[in-house]
Amino acid sequence: MNSEDLINLTALEIASGIKAKKFSVPEVAGSYIEEIEKTDKHFNAFLAVAKENAVKRASEIQARIDKGEDISPLAGVPIAVKDNISTEGLETTCASKMLKGYKPVFNAAIIEKLESAGLIIIGKNNMDEFSMGSSGENSAFGVVRNPWNDSRTAGGSSGGSAAAVAIGETPLAIGTDTGGSIRLPCSFCGVTGIKPTYGTVSRYGIAAYASSLDQAGPIAQNIEDCAALLSVISEKPFEYNNALTSNADLKGVKIGLPANFFSYSETAEDVKEKVLTAAKELEAAGAVLEEFEMPLMDYIIPAYCIIGFAEASSNLAKYDGLRFGYRSPNAKTLSEVYRLSRSEGLGMEVKRKIMFGSFVLSADQYDTYYRKAQQVRTLFIDEYKKLFNRFNMILSPVAPTTAYELGKNSGDEQNDQPWNKYLSDIFTASVNLAGLPAAALPCGFDKQGLPIGFQLIGSAFSEKKIIDVGRIYQGLTNHHKLKPKSASYVPLPNLRFEVCEKKNGESS
């Protein structure tokens, strides 16, 4: 099989091809690395490629498979991980100048799981700096471009991970989701992802943004690959593989549609239409649809921002120029070390969130903002509980729009509209506040040919149900199988360097 065909296979097809000796683990890893080298100068979905290590690991895994060892359902399959996940000896920057050159001395728990399941880590994905952003533009090492239209954003913050899967640079990726960061880029790039129930995947070794909201999860071409990967990384022994073989049907499954998400002023017509069509397909397959009003919609983004940014301000205090990371060469006194290292090492959005978070936690403001937001969070948890007494699942768009132009709502001095970007998480963030699982699945394209995604939200630990419904949907539709045309990729040399220089200038 030639590399062009290899990189079109799904992860489970690759794994079974390896088992059947149709191709070898080193051949597969080689094909993906070749694709990254060919296309990624343009898309910037990778910050590091682990070529040497991947080649070495690939032969080791092949030797074990040849000996007849049954390592895991994904043995030998390449995977890329977001750059906020610690990889021993491999640069882990969180896409920040602050951590440029930082090589962790240990692996995140999730990396250990991937390695013991025989997956081959091929590289680290670009992202919004410290996972802060919704567009993939906040990286200190240049923006991620959307594989379907390179003048658009890939979504964020796991933009590199979703774009890499869409391009065919990797069959699998790991993203993280604090307020929508797995689901949003999946929706913008036309791939499938799962944000698991809070606590399902270990956060050990993942650079924290907001610890009570952060959750890592799988990104792939379809829900079956995501399910297989979730079974590898989950700390809770779920029988996800059953979801792949069970004959689940939709008879009697009650799906709630939040009418106020669909009628929200920013929801694009195409998004509304395609997501409702997806709901209708599930109805035709036996599900029962019912509209409801999502409670507290106006409080989703305020509560998310207060809690998320408050936690961020505390989590990011450790980047002080002393313990590790960037230290300003201009600092002459101790307070200058703190001030200049943080001013020069962190980007605009990160600083904005730290300032906002420090404000809401300050003695004067704590009761007005932080305590209030925590009370609102409890209301979300209670309201979702009530909703899941009525419905088995909730179906909504992932985001109000499709991928927007690069540079729009960028939150820089000339175009200071960060709030617009925060609002792109309005359909996703309450899921994190309540700690629930949700999957994002592609359901078509808008008139400009940009992918649209919908999400299925379930009650805590109902991943198997979500996967069953997603699998039935993808069995009935082809949206997840469509790929952007690689013929139009024109490499732009020095993209990273140019953007990186601009970003550095901006943050000083």
Report if residue 131 touches ligand GLN, rule: CB under 6 A: yes
Residue number with CB closer to ligand GLN (39 or 215):
215
Output the smallest distance, CB 262 to ligand GLN, in A: 21
Among 7-15, 128-136, 235-243, 281-289, which window interacts with ligand GLN (CB under 6 A)? 128-136
d(CA 187, CA 220): 12
CB distance 227 to 468 below 8 Å? no
Terminal-residue alpha carbon distance, the chain: 50
State which of residues 32, 141, 198, 209 lies at the interface with ligand GLN (CB under 6 A).
209
Report if residue 132 touches ligand GLN, rule: CB under 6 A: yes
d(CA 359, CA 382): 28
Output the smallest distance, CB 48 to ligand GLN, in A: 20
Q: Is 370 helix (H, G, I), strand (E, B) or coil?
A: helix
CA distances from 360 to 298, 308, 377 (A): 19, 11, 15
Out of 82, 195, 421, 464, pick the active-site residue: 82
**Can you say whether residue 252 is alpha, beta or left, with left for phi > 0 and alpha for psi between -120 and 50 degrees?**
left
CB distance 141 to 93 below 8 Å? yes
Is 24 noted as a catalytic residue in this protein? no
In the bound complex, which residue of the shown chain has the CB atom lying closest to ligand GLN? 181
Residue number with CB closer to ligand GLN (148 or 304):
304
Largest CA distance in the chain: 70
Report if residue 258 touches ligand GLN, rule: CB under 6 A: no
Residue number with CB closer to ligand GLN (142 or 175):
175
> How buried is residue 471: exposed, middle or buried, by Cβ count under 10 Å (0-12/13-18/19+)?
buried
Report if residue 185 touches ligand GLN, rule: CB under 6 A: no
d(CA 58, CA 361): 48
Amino acid at 81: V
Q: Is 325 helix (H, G, I), strand (E, B) or coil?
A: coil
What are 246's two structure tokens? 């069970």
CB distance 380 to 306 below 8 Å? no
Report if residue 411 touches ligand GLN, rule: CB under 6 A: no
Is 181 noted as a catalytic residue in this protein? yes
Q: Which of residues 50-69 bind ligand GLN (CB under 6 A)?
A: none
Is 254 noted as a catalytic residue in this protein? no
Residue number with CB closer to ligand GLN (127 or 165):
127
Report if residue 425 touches ligand GLN, rule: CB under 6 A: yes
Report if residue 308 touches ligand GLN, rule: CB under 6 A: yes
| 173, β-bridge pairs | 80, 219
Out of 86, 131, 135, 157, pick the active-site residue: 157
**Residue 145-184 contact track with ligand GLN, rule CB under 6 A, x = bound:** ------------x-------------------xxxxx---
Report if residue 463 touches ligand GLN, rule: CB under 6 A: no
Report if residue 188 touches ligand GLN, rule: CB under 6 A: no
Contacts with ligand GLN by CB under 6 A lie at: 131-134, 157, 177-181, 209, 308, 425
Catalytic residues: 82, 157, 181
